[in-house]
Structure 1
Amino acid sequence: MGLLSRRNAAARDKEPTMKKVRERLSNLANRALIVAALALVAWGAITALAGCSAEEASGATQPESTAFVVGAHANAPLPKTDCATDYLSQAVDTNGYIEVISAEGEPRSAVAGAIVGSTASTESKRAQENDQWKAALPGYLSEVRAQTSEVDTLASIDLAARALSEAPGAHRIVVMDSGLQTTGALDFTQGALISADASEVAAWLSDQNELPNLDGIQVEWYYLGDVAAPQADLTPAQRDNLRAIWQAILEASGADVTFHDTTPGSEVAEGLPEVSVVDLPERASMPDSLTAGETVQVELTESDVKFRGDSAEFVDASQAREAVADCAKLMAGTPDAVCLVEGATASADPSQGDEGERFIQELSQARADAVASLLVEAGSRPDAIEARGCGDDHPSHVSDRDDAGNLVPSLAAQNRKVIITISAA
């Protein structure tokens, strides 16, 4: 009774209701299968399924157990559940364990877990009953809806991992969510987390003891970065960094992860609890030219121009060229324009004293020089451009360390930028 006596407190809020379950399963002829299917939403008498062992019944050497994390919440399209078909079939065919977690502000077990699949003694009967299982199970995923505001994807994954802790065989978590978390330890509404260094984020969560235990778990992720109004779409660079952040987190937690570029659905559920909008850095639009006395300023964040750690080397030089193209065009359209390129960094490590301050000063200067070189490469006059390294002393700098002196990635990302100011004489 180990698996079946284990309960999640959130199961009291389970969906679909018992009435819906009975309606869905009324056409299942086998009484034992009805009992087993009801166990998906109410911890029941799954052990009443008499017969041979799971291994003998299925012929499989190892059950495939899967927890689904379903992000059916505001600001994202409803997940298409066809991506789950193969995983559900594998669980049924091997008498694996299935649990469904709703990704929301207070994650919960939306469908209480159970061993699934037939334990009939004959191959034909097993095939018949397993077909009924496979027909019924996808409906449970498609009916999940968030009941609490915000989204805590990391806590949802942790809940899924704990649900699998006693499950038989191989363990898998299938995440069907945007990954744009808005509460908890990985809150993308705070600072510039969407632009933060992925390895720093994972290390910071580890230091805060916020990483789930995913040892030995395979994570399959669908619909990462897919959002709906009023949430603004992510740029390709932001989507790439969101993936890098989650990959670093999951791997640091002990999991293997695969991201699937699956086309999202267009259906959006109405009336769901509110989810905060994540402010995404947007590059300011630039005029074609300036008149005397006019000035424009643009901040290039790590979403626009990303450097390799502690260096002035661009991660993607072509992306960096694209980021400064409008500035170069403005310089060309304003013959007497002058340009100031300022490099800014996260704060120096206080334990390194003057050496740390000197390092970030030199680093910020090198990064300003690198961006200035792109402007010259694009046709701007070298004598009209000044590059200046500000280190952590730029007026826009925000405090980016916690009380213990640790760098906070979301705030550090806010400080890592290049500021371009163009003025007409």
Structure 2
Amino acid sequence: MTFARQSDSGQQPTSSVEPMDHTPVFHVNVVSRSTKAVNYRHHSGKTTLDLRGTELMPEAKGHVSVESRTGRLEIDADVDGLKPARTFGPEYLTYVLWAITPEGRPSNLGEFNPRDDGKSSVKVSTDLQAFGLIVTAEPYFAVTQPSNIVVLENVVRPNTKGWEEPIDTKFDLLERGQYALDLNPAQLPATNADPKTPSDLLEARNAVAIARAEGADKYAPEVLAKAQDFLNRAEDYVARKQSTKAISTVARGAVQSAEDARILTIRKRQQEQQEAERRAMQEREAQARAQAEQSQQQEAAAKAQTEQEARQRAQAEQDRLAAEQAKADAERARQEAEVAKAAAVQQQQLAQNQAQQAQLTAQQAQQARLQAEQETQQTRERLLQQLNQVLQTKESARGLIVDMPDVLFDTGKYTLKPGARERLAKVAGILLAYPNLHVQVEGHTDSVGGADFNQQLSQERADSVRGFLAAQGVRPDSIEARGFGMTQP
């Protein structure tokens, strides 16, 4: 069985080839590529497919024989033209053969460890009955999901026996760097290792480092400790020059345990996230219930207050009708006084709140100003120190002044000397780290020659420096060039 690219004209139609118990061949979409999988469920005997290099490694090739054995399939794969996996990045150390089911489920079948001539082989068995084959570059052999560095895919030969039935399916591929999101690939232990270090040991070092970066110290400490113990034993075996088989055995044990720790860590972190989401939902529900109860209480209190006020108004009306006019006038005066008092208290409270808010705003503005001044001063000091390492720099009321020696130009010329370009390149490198700076280039000359000549020469020299800085990447709109001639030697 092999994977084959689909033709540009679209999906290949069902074709009739030499029947072999009607073994169906399925198309499996591998993200953006179209491949084929073979169903061996009703197939007996042996069939052969090819492996063809993808655009990532077109010179790679191989062939696969698949033989049915009482409920299992024996797979014998040989490949040629494999470059070192590190070609795709420091985190990649090996190649893995994958079986992809029509449902999109990947299964790690085994590792290709190519020799110096790019050749390798693997013999494995699987319970799967319908699948396609791909080969990917991986950080270690025990990975559980293929990366998107697909270097080989299978192609059905013209004489492959069976019949095709297209099935569209997709499966996930890990993008570059996904196995080490919290770890710079350049920091992986294998990146700077001795070239003579056994590849199994390199995979073990990287696998343990990746699991630890994933958080296995917290979520799977016992499994990670087991992986570390295997790794320590492998390191010891190498130091004591033990057999390659002994080193490989414990190193691969470290890889498998590290991958187990990484997977367990991912699952526990997902469980933590789900539990946090569940608690957050419960808290939201409890808060909603509390708010509903509070709203009901407020409505009941408002209703009781309304009823009480209605009774009071009725009683007041009865009192007004029964009382003398003087008493009614006094009552009205009292009510007006209470309203005025309440309004005064409310106005006083409002004024107090506004004053407090104004004070808080002023404090925040002051803090922001002080922080901005401090950051500006720190930036100024850092820039002064950096520029002083290249050219003499001093503070001034106008800003930092970088003194450029007279040896920048030949007498009467405005073309920069090579030595001047080297220094200015260093200055440009520093200025690139401060994109918001305004740079003023000032040209000066001595009093030799006429005023107009020196004025033009100083301007051309300033423009020459400005142009060089801009060519080095400094924003042209942040550079101002001005010539002073001999007025300011």
Q: Structure 1 length normalisation: TM-score?
A: 0.21
More helix by share: 2
Which has the greater radius of gyration? 2
More strand by share: 2
Q: Structure 2 length normalisation: TM-score?
A: 0.19
